[in-house]
Structure 1
Amino acid sequence: MLGEILLIATVGLISYAFYKWATINNDFFERRNIKCMKPRFIVGNTGGLFTNKYTVTEFAQKLYNAFPNESIYGLFDFRVPHYVVRDPEAIKQITIKDFDHFEDHRAFTDEGIDRLWSNTLFFMKGEKWRQMRATLSPAFTGSKMRQMFELVSECADDVVKHFVHKVESGEKVNIEMKDFFGRYTNDVIASCAFGLKINSFLEPENEFYLNGKTLMNFTSFKAMCRMVVLTKLPALARALNITSTDPVIAKSFRETILTTMEIRKKNKFFRPDMINMLMQVREGTLKSDENVKEKEGFATVEESEIGKLTVKRKWNDDEIVAQCFLFFIAGFESSSTMLTFVSYELTVNPDIQQKLYEEILETEQQLGGKSITYDALQKMKYLDQIICESLRKWPSAAQVDRVCTKDYVYDLGNESNLKVEKGTPFFIPIYGIHHDPQYFPEPDKFDPERFSDENKDNILSGTYIPFGLGPRNCIGSRFALMEIKAIVYYLLLNFSIEPNEKTQIPVKLKRGMILLPENGMHLELKPRKK
């Protein structure tokens, strides 16, 4: 009898302790007189995203619409309280003016768990991030993109020629666009970041592409569970040696990069790609050759003063390999997703597609038989408008975060302040802002004219942020835009993009954390009459 009482008492005590642990922060915002979304037990306000209750856009809109009259409010990412900053001026305050208080991203891993992810520029913190940002910044200038463009153009041309040959042999070209663009971006990154010549259309099962698909599979049950443990229970992840990257694939990437570097150094071989630039980073010889501000796409972000600092630090192999890995992840997944939705919008808006084709034809005629160049691509205004509008309507990151790195006082107005403690995370709801009719009338309408010369200056500062804002914006925006525009140019020059019997209009999205069509993006490439 006594044993049963002790067992019940122990279970009760453990249950109570667990309940207190799970709810200890529930009054966090109430104590600060800040409105917040009502959390669910354990999973807070974000659990529905992990359990595939919402699509990423549904969740983003739910988050943004929670308190439309508040510039800042709260939510719970599982047990952890986060502030949501909704007002563009407040966002600029945090990401630009007071950046020294908000310079870090949330990290879901560290060097003790995953050397690859933790050493990427995205997850570096503080002074180490500042030094790496300044070190890498010269690799992403317009002049460096110009040098690398031939490699990108070659990949885009090879892809289109592959399908032109299929048409010439009498085949219809019905394809799933996410897979199509994933193979293209895989080949671009293999060439530009790893120095490898790969054709994922002629060799569909090549190891590089399959490794990329494995790395980017965030939708399986196993991947979701791993992500929950990594982000919400890091101590458990460390104890169980759970990493976000397959150790075999991580080792393969590392060996490929370092071996390529050694071969090039030994043979004094030069190629204008990321490997070459990272070799210069390792040797401390990479310098910016950007003397003038170039006129590039509207979405391109400018480097801050942090990126222009002079750094003499030596970087180790883990840190060098991690940057190449990040370049692969961003170039492979984000760009292929963006292209998938560009192709959808061109399909359902044939008048826009036709207008773009006319601009492409005009550019082709001006080139007089020569291949497209980086500079010619930058001059294509309507192409830029289409990509900008696609990035507005379908941003690859529905929201981004910042972490308060030292205690901060936020002015709420009305002579009241909010004291923010070091370590407190903030969400910036990009998707919600991009779809707010206050800033973009008829936000669900695909309208490239928003970004015409006549209209783009009317876009309120801080409301169009597809690549983030402030010193921690996306360092690779120029490369991403170049990669996207190059394939669109070659593709539309040779094909019209049209719906087929599998095309879902309007498109429905897959539930979960990733922006993906529910049943794929099935379209037909119809050859143009020359």
Structure 2
Amino acid sequence: MWWIVVAIAVLAVGYWLLIRPHKYWLEKGVKQGNPKFIFGDNWGTVLRKQSFAELIEMVYNMCPNTRYTGIYQFLQPILVIKDPDLIKQITVKDFDHFIDHPTLIPADSDPLWGKNLLTLTGKKWREMRTTLSPAFTSSKMKFMFSLISKSGEQLVNFFLKKDQELITVEMKDTLTRFTNDVIANTAFGVECDSLGERENEFYMMGKEATDFSGLCKNLKFIGYILVPKLLKLFKIKLFSKEVADFFTNLIKSNIQSREKHGIVRPDMLHLLLEARKNRLKHEENEPLQDTGFATVVESEINKNPKTTKAEITDEDITSQAVIFFFAGFETVSLLMCFTCHELAVNPDIQNRLIQEVDETLEACKGKLTYEALLGMKYMDMVISESLRKWPNPINVDRVCTKPYTIEPKYPDEKPVHLETNAVVWLPIFGIHRDPQYYPEPKRFDPERFSDENKAKIKPYTYLPFGSGPRSCIGSRLALLETKTLFFYILSHFEIVPVEKTQIPLVISKKQFNMTAENGFWVGLNRRSRV
């Protein structure tokens, strides 16, 4: 009979460890879907039957007419916040309860990753954000504009030299090379031509650093989730020694050269060095002209002069430069790729944008200026709509840093008590494709962001760079380089569909980031000048 007792005990333990966790939200009176054994709501993404974007849209629509929904990432309970007013409450009004992102990789496991602004927590994040915030104002973007513009001219000149009327291009490869050059130039103080010199060291190192498709890095991520103390004990880092040494030595040698020879260059490294010397401050009379509708307005919390400024070491500067590289190399290049696709399949929209490009070029007498670019209203409408339809990030998370209660608003709700370390998600992809906020959400329509219509957009339903004090610090830079790129491309080329263009575009189920299943293939058709 002893084996019956053992079997019952095993089943009881199994239930407690593997099945009961999926009852968590039901016991709190929160509606949830039908989580699968062990995998929770991640079943489709694990089997590669569903992209992460499709998962976010699925969980957003899972329990209609609710302000929030309970889901499970494997066994971990996560509360998906769907209501715009509740998003504002959590990310702005009660921000002090939701300051941090969940920590995947401990800072002391890999300082190059763990010390960047995205992963810092609590007091350290506040100090670093306040210190760096003045480096991303509109006037600082103008300071760096010449470098970004130079990279845009370099890209179109590469294609203009080709003796072809129609050039077939896979834009993901092309645009990661462009963004690589922009970040190398603006963040690391290094001039690159990654289209002309396809295997230059900076590009190859950057590609290795941002490639998470290999088995080794995937095993590291699983290890950080399941046994973080073990990886820390054996000093297993996210980046290879070669990559870490390259970026660290590059920053250190650049800093030494600048300090020794008094070099001043209009780039992010210079601004970070100025921040280290406590010379950066928010201008009282910051220019009213900004980089666009999607630009994040910096929270007053991050401008607080009473916040202790962070002491910035060479390692801190390297870590910030690396995260800027990640954002530029992958996230911004994908924004550009999706915009290329939409312009190719919507020629009427592209023609109107080309007309604005031509008028702007004539007005500034053939030489693009910062003010002229920011004055392009239709350009801003197109990029704003691209960020609406294809937001990256797809989803934003926050961790509850101290107990918090979501009070009931409707008769069928109960108070939801969130313990410390509870995780909430903001399902940006789902919100941006909700027809109650954006009619015909799959249609690419820049008119949503015309002067007349953008005022009608419900607050906190447009979140391409997140929300609240912890929103993306680099929104101005991302928008500036994207607009610069399309200005230069459309000055000389039309973007057209080719045989390899996937219509309609299908999101890849094999990659975590939102990207095209068969690549972003378009044609660059040389424009004829009268």
Which TM-score bucket, shorter chain as reference?
A: over 0.9
* 1:504 alignment counterpart: 502
* 2:299 alignment counterpart: 304
1:65-144 equivalences under 5 Å are: 65-144=61-140
TM-score (norm 1): 0.94
Match of 1:238 among 227, 232, 238: 232
Over 3 Å counting, the alpha-carbon distance change for 1:178 and 1:12 in structure 2 is farther
* 1:474 alignment counterpart: 472
The residue type equivalent to 2:219 in the other structure is: C
Aligned residue for 1:166, secondary structure, equals coil
Contact 1:192 1:274 in 2 (8 A): yes
RMSD over aligned Cα atoms: 2.1
* 1:341 alignment counterpart: 338
TM-score (norm 2): 0.94
Over 3 Å counting, the alpha-carbon distance change for 1:312 and 1:96 in structure 2 is closer
Contact 1:218 1:514 in 2 (8 A): no
1:362 aligned to 2:359? Answer: yes
Match of 2:213 among 205, 212, 219: 219
- How far 1:283 moved relative to its partner? 2.4
Over 3 Å counting, the alpha-carbon distance change for 1:86 and 1:120 in structure 2 is same
* 2:445 alignment counterpart: 447
Identity between Structure 1 and Structure 2 (%): 42
Alpha-carbon separation, structure 2, partners of 1:208 and 1:16: 55
Alpha-carbon separation, structure 1, partners of 2:372 and 2:236: 47
1:281-321 Cα shifts (integer Å, max 9, x gaps): 22222223352352320000100012212344422332221
Alpha-carbon separation, structure 2, partners of 1:338 and 1:233: 35
The residue type equivalent to 2:149 in the other structure is: S
* 1:436 alignment counterpart: 434
* 2:518 alignment counterpart: 519
Alpha-carbon separation, structure 1, partners of 2:298 and 2:454: 21
1:460-491 Cα shifts (integer Å, max 9, x gaps): 00100100111111000000000100010000
The residue type equivalent to 2:51 in the other structure is: T
Contact 2:130 2:309 in 1 (8 A): no
Equivalent residues, number: 523
Alpha-carbon separation, structure 2, partners of 1:365 and 1:294: 24
1:163-192 Cα shifts (integer Å, max 9, x gaps): 10113xx47421100111100000000000
Alpha-carbon separation, structure 2, partners of 1:15 and 1:183: 54
Alpha-carbon separation, structure 2, partners of 1:307 and 1:97: 14
The residue type equivalent to 1:88 in the other structure is: P
Match of 2:198 among 197, 200, 204: 204
- How far 1:222 moved relative to its partner? 4.0
1:250 aligned to 2:244? Answer: yes
The residue type equivalent to 1:495 in the other structure is: F
* 1:194 alignment counterpart: 188
Over 3 Å counting, the alpha-carbon distance change for 1:257 and 1:12 in structure 2 is farther
Alpha-carbon separation, structure 1, partners of 2:42 and 2:275: 39
Unaligned 5+ segments in structure 2 are: none
1:304-358 Cα shifts (integer Å, max 9, x gaps): 0122123444223322211111111111111100000000000000000000000
Q: Which runs of 4+ in 1 moved over 4 A?
A: 5-19
Match of 2:327 among 314, 327, 330: 330
Greater shift, 273-282 or 133-142, is seen at 273-282
Contact 2:294 2:464 in 1 (8 A): yes
Over 3 Å counting, the alpha-carbon distance change for 1:112 and 1:410 in structure 2 is same
Over 3 Å counting, the alpha-carbon distance change for 1:105 and 1:162 in structure 2 is same
Match of 2:268 among 267, 274, 288: 274
Contact 2:338 2:390 in 1 (8 A): yes
Alpha-carbon separation, structure 2, partners of 1:288 and 1:7: 71
Alpha-carbon separation, structure 1, partners of 2:405 and 2:62: 24
Aligned residue for 1:285, secondary structure, equals coil
Match of 1:46 among 42, 45, 62: 42
Unaligned 5+ segments in structure 1 are: none
* 1:27 alignment counterpart: 23
